[in-house]
Amino acid sequence: MPAIQLDKLKLQTANLAGKVGQPDLFQADLLELFDHYSNRTFRAGTNTLAHRMSSTYHLPDRVLWQIERDLEPQIHIYDPEQSLLLAEALWAGESLEEKQIAIFMLGQIPVEVDQPIMETFNRWFQPGLDPVLRMNLVTHGLNRLRRERFEDWMSLVQQWLASPQEEKHAQAFLALVELLQETGETHLPSVNKIVSSAVLDTPASLHHELLTLFRVIVQVSLIETSYLTREVIRRSDPQNANHKRLLRKMIQLFPEAEQTEIKRQYLEHFRAGG
């Protein structure tokens, strides 16, 4: 992997971004750029989850960041259908990085064409999708819908939570992670309400996604999250092993100094029910 010369990289990515309207040429030049900056030592290995799920170039973060920064204004200039065409071509590529840029593009396309965006999103978000792509698709693939038509976006999250499909619940939890990371306390009451109503019905298969969201809630507001956790403990079933495991993991996400009193309530509640 050659050392990154920023002036050269910026020239390369600016030239690349100018080819949004030429999907075949864009993708060919993109792969050439990836190959130039790839870490071949990593690419030769196979003992990584990313390698098993999708091929990857193991690029420096700065390379992808620069590509996205130069792409963003071009996506806003081109016809949305043209941007979608390029995004689809990249999604069909073999590498993790091609798909990551496809997701970035999807999240930048104007919301006036939200229906094609949702159709594309649903086609891409399939069972067995690489975990990295799964997270990126939910958190970044609907960026403009979330920022510009928040009520529509929140309605979509509510639909996911109401779905009988566990995969949809996972999407909702991960989407709320991005919302809190972007807006802080602004929408915390709404998110806490959702979590409070869903947490005790969450199966073990979705604990990872729920705990990912809960970790961010803790970071945003310790006081409100402490209150939420106490209420969930109070409503939990002491005979339910799933409740017990999940609450124990939730408590462990608090700073150590904040855990003592919540642990006490947890122990008293489950001992009383035992």
pLDDT (tens digit, 9 = 90+) per residue, 71-110? 999 998 888 888 999 999 999 999 999 999 999 999 998 8
DSSP summary character for residue 4: P
pLDDT of residue 50: 42
User: What tens-digit pLDDT sequence spans the chain (274 residues)?
Assistant: 567 888 999 999 999 999 998 999 999 999 999 999 987 665 444 444 444 456 888 889 899 999 999 999 999 888 888 899 999 999 999 999 999 999 999 999 887 756 788 889 889 988 788 888 888 898 899 888 888 888 889 988 998 999 888 888 988 998 999 899 999 999 999 999 989 998 999 999 999 999 999 999 999 999 999 999 999 999 999 999 999 999 999 999 999 988 999 999 999 998 876 5
For the entire predicted model, the pTM comes to 0.76
pLDDT of residue 45: 45
pLDDT of residue 116: 85
Q: Which two tokens stand for residue 104?
A: 């970035």
DSSP annotation string for 105-144? HHHHS-GGGHHHHHHHHHHH--TT--HHHHHHHHHHTTHH
Cα separation, 29 vs 14, in Å, equals: 12
SS3 content of the chain, % helix, strand, coil (to 5): 80, 0, 20
- Going from N- to C-terminal start, the domains of the chain cover 1-148, 171-274
Q: How far is CA 169 from CA 145, 159, 199, in A?
A: 19, 9, 11
Residue 55: strand pairing partners: 95
CB count within 10 Å of CB 108 equals 21
pLDDT of residue 51: 43
Only one residue has tokens 């509640």, namely: 269
pLDDT of residue 46: 45
pLDDT of residue 3: 72
pLDDT of residue 34: 93
241-251 and 256-273 helices, crossing angle to 10°: 160
Cα separation, 56 vs 171, in Å, equals: 24
Q: What is the dihedral of CA 10, 13, 19, 25, to 10 degrees?
A: 140
Start-to-end Cα distance in the chain:
59
pLDDT of residue 274: 55
